[in-house]
Amino acid sequence: MNDKHTVADLALFGGPALFDRPRPIGQLAKPDTEHFFELMRGAFEGRRLSNNGPLVQQLEARLADFHAVRHCIAYANAGLALIALMESVAGGRKGSVVIPTFTYTGLPHIVRWAGSEPIFCDVDKDTHTLTAASVANALRDDTLMLLGVHQANSPCPIDELEALGKQHGIPVLYDAVHGLGATYRGKPIGGFGIAEVFSLHATKLLNGFEGGYVTTDNDELAALLRRKRNFGYSGECSIDTLGMNAKLNEIHAASALAALDGLPAIIARNRARLRAYEEAFRDIPGLSWIPYPQEEATNAEFPLLRLSHDWPLSRDTLVALLRAEGALARPYYAPALHLQDNPHHAPLPVAETLSTCIIQMPTGESVSVEDIEHIAALVRFIVLNAPAVRAALAAIEEAK
Ligand SMILES: Cc1ncc(COP(=O)(O)O)c(C=O)c1O
């Protein structure tokens, strides 16, 4: 820790950075490299590098088992898996898809690539997910499906959403990218709705470098999704559905397979980091941590720091100060998606408030408990010197 004695020592104002290498927010878990190279040696020897090779098939079987579902269909990434899934469920119909407005920025684009229009919907203040009441307001005559997004801190209220879907005859699907390893009513996320989608991106819990997959119990949908990822081929040279090249290759499958056994340990280390943050920040006023449910399995993926409305500095100022020090914190899901899409969108007040006050703090395999203690000491210094920080920021603005 390089000590900060005056605000001039803060990296944002020209002082030396706290960390000599960045502390990111992504998981960046290292697969078992011995296992990875052994799998890849086999792939090279067998001359199978892509096109539904044995490693992809092995990964799919292990993930279907993990999620307790009949089918896992691997894709090149979660985005393409979501596009293929939504396009399949739409089945050629044009219309809209209800999505939460408080989630990953790419989601509305994914809906549009799938040929539908996103309808942004407000979220619950505690779970940060869709609720039946918020969705009921967003339904339209042309609504084709609901796309719930599980959050790291909470799955969607699945029973409620599915009852609503049933009542209106609208299928429910889940973006489960942040639900890996979590349960709902004791059952693994992955087995709910028509289908669920996960990511194998390096920043996610299970590291395939890139990759994604769909889980489903629907045999027909699974078969269709297998054809769609492979140009739509139904036989040697016949195509019977709109397809693309969205195959997962053997390198990515090998990485995910070599990481899979380590998943419980990754989640345990995430939980230790969450506990370390709670402990280290305990005496800093005006800050709290978004809680994870105690009664279900969770993946502890994100430490989410919430600032009270009267905190002495803005959320974005604190993020800028942390980032300058090499602690790559990020405003959590800000701005809300409906405002990114259309600044004149009708208000969705819960998400708009949430998007102003939460910070996604550094975590993952590159962040140690000691790093967290240094970050807490830094934030303690910042809050004690808030008036001087504000003055230094004002001086920079004035000099512009
Ligand atoms: C909620 C959510 N959905 C989908 C994706 C897309 O995943 P991928 O990078 O595998 O396409 C992400 C990526 O961050 C995400 O956070």
* Arithmetic mean of pLDDT over the chain: 97
Smallest CA-to-CA distance from 24 within 370, 336, 322, 377 is with 322
Q: What is the pLDDT of residues 315-338, one digit of tens each?
A: 999 999 999 999 999 999 999 999
* Least confident residue range of 100-114, 231-245, 381-395: 231-245
| pLDDT at residue 131 greater than cutoff 90 | yes
Q: Which of 169-178, 234-243, 246-255 has the lowest mean pLDDT?
A: 234-243
Both tokens assigned to 208: 């395939």
78 pocket-lining for ligand 1 (C-beta < 6 Å): yes
Tokens 């909470």 — which residue?
154
201 lines ligand 1 (CB under 6 A): yes
Ligand 1 midpoint to CA 207 (Å): 13
How many angstroms is it from 335 CA to the middle of ligand 1?
A: 17
- Any residues with CB less than 8 A from the CB of 391 and at least 6 apart, and which? none
Residues in the chain: 400
Give distance in angstroms: CA of 138 to centre of ligand 1.
23
| pLDDT tier at 172, thresholds 50, 70, 90 | very high
- Of 283, 282, 281, 303, nearest to 292 by C-alpha is 303
pLDDT at 1: 54
Q: In the chain, what are the domains?
A: 7-23+262-399 (3.90.1150.10), 33-260 (3.40.640.10)
Q: Is the minimum distance from the CB of 85 to ligand 1 under 6 angstroms?
A: no
Residue 77 Cβ inside 6 Å of ligand 1? The answer reads yes
Q: What is the pLDDT of residue 400?
A: 85
